[in-house]
Amino acid sequence: MASGPSRDVPHPSRRSLQGLDWFVFFVADVQAGFGPFVAVYLTTQKWTQFDIGLVMTVAGLIALAAQIPGGALVDAARSERVVAGAAVAVIGGSALAYAIWPIFPVVLAAACLQAAASCVLGPAIAAISLGLVGHAAIGERFGRNARFASIGAGLSAGVMGACGYFFSARSVFLVTAALLVPALLVLRRLSPEEIDPERAHGSLPPAAKPPIDLRSLLQKRTLLIFGACLLLFHLANAAMLPLMGSVLTMRSSQWATVLIGACLVGPQLVVAVFSPWVGRQAERWGRRPLLIAGFAALPVRGLLFATVSDPYLLVAVQLLDGLTGAVLAVMVPLTVADLTKGTGRFNLTQGLVGTMTGLGASLSPTFAGFVSDTFSSNYAFFGLAAIAVVGLAVVALLMPETRPASAGAQS
């Protein structure tokens, strides 16, 4: 009986906590080169919108297939640090392949490797966080992770945008590959003794973990509703900024990377400011009100993208992405932690939720690219906004509150 509370109240060192801060920061740097910068870069290489969308969709399907195995891998791993380091190395190598060989088979393979590695990296960071601080402090920790991720992504997006303007779009991926080195160095600051493996996998007691059982996860109604909400959200969201990047490139290729950099930096600043607050308020207000607020900003953003043509106003509209980013960066892993507390299936469930996310994100670019090529980019944005409205309705009408009753009483 004496060992339970001691396991439940971890006391991580400042060195490990700061090491996690900076690892999240550099991971965001490494990943910032992908996404909208890919669309800009491949457009400069004379790729069609269909080919760009096809590469993104295939990579998304790889991510879809790798989510659950990736989560199971993290649950089974003896060291989340090793898994995270290997994933970062693969992402850095993929960026280098983009820069050196921008031909279809190489870019397709690199995109698939990057997608698969990201499926492992996200759960690994969440598992390290939970293993360090425990369930009682995980909301604020996820908020802190989101803050450092947004600062890293914002700064690197600014640097990469400047590199694309002063040098070439190719330099974005060379910078991304170079950031692999500091990411791996700060990972060494995390003390493996302070990352409790049972706690990292969602098990509070020191007993053996239950066997992996996907059927039991699929029988959780709240989990399925949450996954459907995320599917609709990413189906509406994933293509918005890449499509806007292509539109800006066709209008003004010289300023495209700078404007895309601004579209990335602005929302990241919003996330950096608000995400710790979201983590704290989630313990006071609950998860559901914040989810509704985050989902509500997406259809507004899609409608404005469809109707606003001024490039500088589009950058201002993109700030709405910071509101949704601050909410989802905290609420997704926190809700999964709520639903899996004491089960030992935290990372596997992250993989299941990630599969729903990946399904929406993989279909979004092809849908938007097809509508844009067949009709116009404005119609594509209207279609994405309509999907976002459906996602908001599902959250508002079907998603229950998942905050533990004890957390509400304490706040």
CATH number for the segment(s) 14-203+212-405: 1.20.1250.20
pLDDT of residue 225: 92
Provide the pLDDT for residue 395.
93
Q: Please, what is the average pLDDT of the chain? A: 81
Helix 36-44 to helix 253-285 angle, to the nearest 10 degrees? 170
pLDDT-derived band of residue 32, with 50, 70 and 90 as boundaries? low
* C-alpha–C-alpha distance, residues 57 and 206, integer Å: 41
Residue 6 confidence (pLDDT) above 60: no
Amino acid at 23: F
**What pLDDT sits at residue 177?**
84
- pLDDT given at position 50: 79
The total number of residues written for the chain in this structure? 411
Q: Where are the domains of the chain?
A: 14-203+212-405
- Residue pair 198/329 in contact (Cβ under 8 Å)? The answer is no
Q: Rounded to the nearest 5°, which phi and psi values hold at 197?
A: -65, -35
Confidence check: pLDDT of 355 > 70: yes
Range in 20-29, 79-88, 244-253 the model is least confident about:
244-253
Highest mean pLDDT pick, 26-40, 45-59, 164-178, 299-313: 299-313
User: What's the rounded Cα separation, in Å, for the pair 409 and 411?
Assistant: 6
Nearest residue to 257 via CA among 272, 244, 273: 244
d(CA 357, CA 251): 31
Please list the alpha-helical segments (H only) found in 205-345: 214-218, 221-237, 240-251, 253-285, 288-307, 311-317, 320-340
Query: In the predicted model, is pLDDT for residue 151 greater than 80?
Result: yes
CA distance 260 to 161: 7
* Position 282 pLDDT exceeds 90: no
Q: 158-188: per-residue pLDDT in tens?
A: 777 777 777 777 778 888 888 888 888 998 8
Burial class from Cβ neighbours inside 10 Å (0-12, 13-18, 19+) for residue 271 reads buried
Nearest to 27 by CA among 152, 113, 200: 152
Rg (C-alpha) for the chain, rounded Å, is: 20
pLDDT of amino acid 229 = 93
* CA pair distance 49, 242, nearest whole angstrom: 10
Give 235-272 pLDDT, tens digit per residue. Answer: 999 888 888 877 777 666 556 667 776 777 778 788 88
Confidence of residue 3 (pLDDT cuts 50, 70, 90): very low
pLDDT above 70 as % of the chain: 89
Q: How far apart are CA 245 and CA 377, in angstroms?
A: 11
- Res 93 pLDDT > 50: yes
Could you read off the pLDDT of 311-333 as tens digits, one per residue? Answer: 778 878 888 888 898 899 889 98
Q: Is residue 226 pLDDT above 90, yes or no? A: yes
Q: List the one residue out of 387, 119, 37 whose CA is nearest residue 237.
A: 387
Q: How far is CA 384 from the centre of its chain?
A: 19
State residue 135's pLDDT score.
77
